[in-house]
Amino acid sequence: MAITTGLKVLEKEQSPSKTAKRPGQPSKLSPWDIVKVSRHSERPVFEDYIELISTGFMELHGDRYYADDRAIRGGFAHIDGHKVMLIGHNKGKNTNQNVERNFGMAKPEGYRKALRLMKLAQRFNLPVVTMIDTPGAFPGMEAEERGQAESIAKNITEMAGIEVPIISVVIGEGGSGGALGIGVGDRIVMLSNAIYSVISPEGCASILWRDAKYAPDAARALNLTAHALLKHDVIDAIIDEPGEGAHTNYKVIAEKVKKYISGQLKVLSNIPVEILLQERFEKYSAMGKFERLV
């Protein structure tokens, strides 16, 4: 299904647009425009990347406690010759898909499934690749009842100690704790029009500006773009999107994502596990900016 959508888009726009920016250059788009591109209805989703960057995806189901959350999928796969555990938020592209997948908003069972698969990866000595694309963890009554906070907290804590390399790619929306719940990696990379934020710009605006219509201002203030986050040392790299965004050329973006993952897997797989974990600890210990008063 998704691949046909992808090909349709490919046919529509083969050549890069005239407004294409040079690689590595900050986008000409405003932060709010980037938010809109990150949520574009034809933007490639996890399912597309499964098809385009991996082969032999063998999906595994269920958290062993409650259910199989369709908002997060995962399983064994090959990426450019590397055997990996591939896990991602499962956004859809139309209403039917999104109803089934809850718009990529996972419940505790989704995070628990993801953790189960990461532990399985450790058992099989396979690196983990996670793909982040969620508006956030599902804010519903049953999610709270079953421990939404606990499931995310557990993943974040356990990921600090998973004894295989972890690469996290933010392919669309990095929505707060719901993103971080599968996002504690040795490498965090963002697509150039992806966003990563502590709160949605609309949510931030309605709290700090008392009105969601100030979302564009909040988007700017939150520094949620890939370029801002590279500058603030949160992410390791940016994968430049073709033309006016990943939705304009699935093939090109998929190839770039595959190349990045493959290259980093080569680097990370040569690091002894004790050093890998020590470096992961140091990476997250160094996150944030504060000062020490004299």
Partner 1 sequence: MGWYSKEIGEKKQQKATLWIQCKGCKSHIWEQEWVKNLNVCPNCNYHGGITATHRANLLFDKNSFYELFADVSPVDSLGFKDLKGSYEDKITANKNKTGINEAVITGKGQIEGIPAVAAIMDFRFLGGSLGSGTGEKILQAANFAYDHNLPYIVFSASGGARMQEGVLSLMQMAKTCAGVARLNKKNIPFISVLTNPTTGGVTASYAMMGDLNISEPGAVIGFAGRRVIEQTIGEKLPDDFQTAEYLLEHGFIDAIVNRKDIKSYLGNVLSYYNR
* Binding positions for partner 1, rule: CB under 8 A: 137-141, 143-150, 152-154, 156-161, 174, 176-177, 180-181, 183-184, 196-199, 203-204, 207-210, 214, 217-218, 221-224, 228-229, 232, 234, 280-281, 284-285, 287-294
Give burial (CB, 10 Å; 0-12/13-18/19+) of 285. Answer: exposed
Q: Would you say 93 and 79 are in contact if contact means Cβ atoms under 8 Å apart? A: no
What's the closest the beta carbon of residue 289 comes to partner 1, in angstroms? Answer: 4
- 6 in helix, strand or coil? helix
Q: Structure tokens of 279? A: 């470096």
CA distance 192 to 28: 11
Question: Nearer Cβ to partner 1, position 159 or 265?
Answer: 159
Question: Nearer Cβ to partner 1, position 104 or 183?
Answer: 183
Question: Nearer Cβ to partner 1, position 232 or 266?
Answer: 232
CA distance 117 to 95: 28
What's the closest the beta carbon of residue 176 comes to partner 1, in angstroms? Answer: 6
What's the closest the beta carbon of residue 131 comes to partner 1, in angstroms? Answer: 18
Question: Nearer Cβ to partner 1, position 34 or 53?
Answer: 34
What's the closest the beta carbon of residue 205 comes to partner 1, in angstroms? Answer: 9
Question: Nearer Cβ to partner 1, position 2 or 235?
Answer: 235
| H-helix or E-strand spanning residue 140 | none
Q: Would you say 137 and 152 are in contact if contact means Cβ atoms under 8 Å apart? A: yes
Q: Would you say 106 and 134 are in contact if contact means Cβ atoms under 8 Å apart? A: yes
What's the closest the beta carbon of residue 139 comes to partner 1, in angstroms? Answer: 3
What's the closest the beta carbon of residue 183 comes to partner 1, in angstroms? Answer: 8
- 129 in helix, strand or coil? strand
Question: Nearer Cβ to partner 1, position 6 or 185?
Answer: 185
Q: Structure tokens of 192? A: 């150039």
